[in-house]
Chain A
Amino acid sequence: MNPAYSVIFFTTASGAGYGLLALMGILNAGGYLPVDKWFGLTGFIISLGLITLGLLSSTFHLGHPERAWRALSQWKTSWLSREGIIAVLTYIPSILFAIGWVFFQKTTDTYMVMGLISSIGAAITVYCTSMIYASLKAIPAWTHNLVPPIYLVFSLATGGLILNAMLHVYDAPIKDISIFCLLTLALALVLKLKYWKDIDAAPRKTDLASATGLGDIGTVRVLDKPNTSENYLQQEMGFRVARKHAEKLRRIAITTFFILPTILVSVTFLVPDLALATTLIAVPAASIGIATERWLFFAEAKHVMMSYYEG
């Protein structure tokens, strides 16, 4: 599949935003977080900002962004529609949550509930986002049952790293948050490695034989394509990344979303003086990592339709 940058930005940025929002809601309910107006403002600007930028990015890659509101209507059948609705709805509790935190420095009672509802909304939104892809049978690599968990875990991991950095900036580090970061990063790695192992090994249920129905006669190969310049389908779904290149990118992804942030976050325990710097650096490092991972998620996914074009 063609890894469109707007879509990669959408899922990674909004994923991080929702992760941060969810963590703010849950951890606030546990009383862990400073109910400081600047802290809150930072958190909401980052989370809601990333969410909004991500959503806007995804609408800009539409043919008719001015009709985007229509996308909220088919929630009965469409994951994209469901995602849209929950995303829009989640703004309500999260803005109320933000108002309480920033203007009134109050995050208890109703505001706490708003926070928790925001967390639930965030989780569901990220789940719906992942299901947009995971529900597409025509792209077998995406139907793997680890795809929604991976989206959720990455969301929490990136959100967690941002929160961790914020806490260090506000000079209110929480050890458990750092550990939480390490755990989610490790979980993300485990899930991702299993996913890659599975998709590398998976036999193709749909191949040129079932695509054409000619398998009964013999082995089918492509002779010619229907057109001599690439058409929309080939551009959108025919992206190929060479095996060697993909492996290199996987290593880069692992390095930047797991190894580096793990080291950097671990340093907060070992060398507290560097903690501020390292937790801050961990964020862009992980962002590169997850962007790479998401790019590969698209680039390595073969659409069954491409069997017709490439065998």
Chain B
Amino acid sequence: MTDLPQSTNTKLGLVIDLDICVGCHACAVNCKEWNTSGYHAPLTDTDPYGADPTGVWFNRIHSYEVERPTGESQTVYFPKSCLHCEDAPCVTVCPTGASYKRSEDGIVLVDEDMCIGCKLCSWSCPYGAREYDAFEGVMKKCTLCIDKIYNENLPEESRQPACVSTCPANARHFGDLGDPNSDVSKMVKARGGYDLMPEQGTKPVNKYLPPRTRQMEPGDITKKSKLEDASPDGGFLGWLDKVLTD
């Protein structure tokens, strides 16, 4: 049903920490690996050993440079996957009802059996979160690992999205952004987590934590930005005499 639920109490989503992401692509590949045999199996790859290898991925890592007003450059890595928006345009635009948002947890999913592959949902998504599997003729996207997070065949510690479990830098977090007391909500509040493209009106559930202010100014660590001479009246290693007094 492409009616959006009025609002969902539970808003499962991800928090991505841009202060810590080192751009290693672990999340992207682990997601690919989990999902190619999961809900949207397979995540087709075309021309995999040829000149234009491409495939269906749910998470991709961009690399940016930000030029600070002082002129210095800061490299920032930017993983991007479906933000499971509250006001998901990909849901309302879908003509068949294949694209829908679950009322129980807010996860936006594609029902492959109903999808006609018109691609309109990918056009409507401002984030580029939905990809077309040309071989299967249907749209695929991040499922928030719906086949993993509740999976009773897996140990409890594994019931997290693959990208979150695997992130070596612990830069991805999963939880209920609809619960102000959840760890993720508290993190968002403490760090000033934000929406991407708020002006698009999608009300994304995933939040991004901004890079922290860098400690690199004089005064950040020490009051004086240079060491004082310990033997100002000359003398080689004069200060040493005071140390070796016993």
Contacts and interface: CB of A to CB of B under 8 A. Distances in A.
B is bound to A: yes
Interface of A: 1, 62-65, 67-68, 70-74, 76-81, 84, 132, 135-139, 205-206, 208, 210-214, 216-227, 229-233, 236-237, 303-306, 308-309
A237 B63 CA distance: 19
Interface of B: 1-4, 18, 28, 47, 51-57, 60-69, 74-76, 78, 80, 89, 91-98, 114-120, 122-128, 131-132, 134, 136-139, 194-201, 208, 210-211
Given A80-B93, A211-B197, A223-B63, A71 B68 contact: no
A78 B93 contact: yes
B77 to A, nearest CB: 9
Contacts of A72: 95
Task: Choose among B68, B136, B196 the residue with the greatest number of A CB atoms under 10 Å from its CB.
Answer: B196
Given A64-B138, A308-B128, A1 B210 contact: no
B116 A70 contact: yes
8 contacts: A63-B116, A64-B138, A78-B2, A132-B120, A136-B93, A213-B196, A226-B62, A229-B54
Contacts of B136: 63
Nearest to B202: A137
Given A206-B200, A223-B65, 12 more contacts: A63-B117, A77-B92, A78-B2, A78-B94, A138-B124, A139-B123, A210-B197, A212-B78, A214-B64, A223-B63, A226-B28, A304-B200
B95 A305 contact: no
A76 B2 contact: yes
Contacts of B80: 308
A216 B209 CA distance: 13
Contacts of B55: 231
B40 to A, nearest CB: 14
